[in-house]
Amino acid sequence: MCPTVLVIDDDAEFRRLAVQVLGAMGLQVVGEAGTYAEGAAAAAELRPDSALVDVELPDGNGIELAAHLVSLPWRPRVVVASSDPEATSTAAVQTFGAIGFLPKEELVDGALATMLTGD
């Protein structure tokens, strides 16, 4: 069974692109969410192995959501993303338990699959 991913981003176009790219990387996207609340609920329901979370969500901070997600009992791997490459840093999000930070322009980089799966 391939690793599962939840994509949480308020930009529907980015979510569609992320689903395509992650699928091509051999990951199974099990759900999408556009807000903090939807993302937290989807994670609890779907129990994904990992999540790709936008920094800016309309109802909350994606870095705080990342901290919530990694505290769940199954401890999903979380990568935080943003269209602003200077929105945060890997070191900053790692203090909240996330694996790393990825500027959205680097989505197609194979490093994302490694970050999400730990392989």
CB atoms within 10 A of CB 42: 19
At 110, the pLDDT band (50, 70, 90 cuts) reads: confident
106 pLDDT higher than 90: no
pLDDT of residue 76: 98
112 pLDDT higher than 90: no
Integer distance in angstroms from the first to the last C-alpha of the chain? 15
The overall average pLDDT reported for the chain is: 94
* Stated length of the chain: 119
CATH number for the domain whose boundaries are 4-117: 3.40.50.2300
Predicted TM-score of the model (pTM): 0.94
53-87 per-residue burial string, b: 16 or more CB within 10 A, e: under 16 = bbbebeeeebbebbbbbbeeeeebbbbbbbeeeeb
51 pLDDT higher than 80: yes
At 113, the pLDDT band (50, 70, 90 cuts) reads: confident
What is the average pLDDT across 51-66? 97
pLDDT of residue 46: 98
Domain locations along the chain:
4-117
Stretch (H or E) spanning 45 = helix 36-46
What is the average pLDDT across 102-113? 84
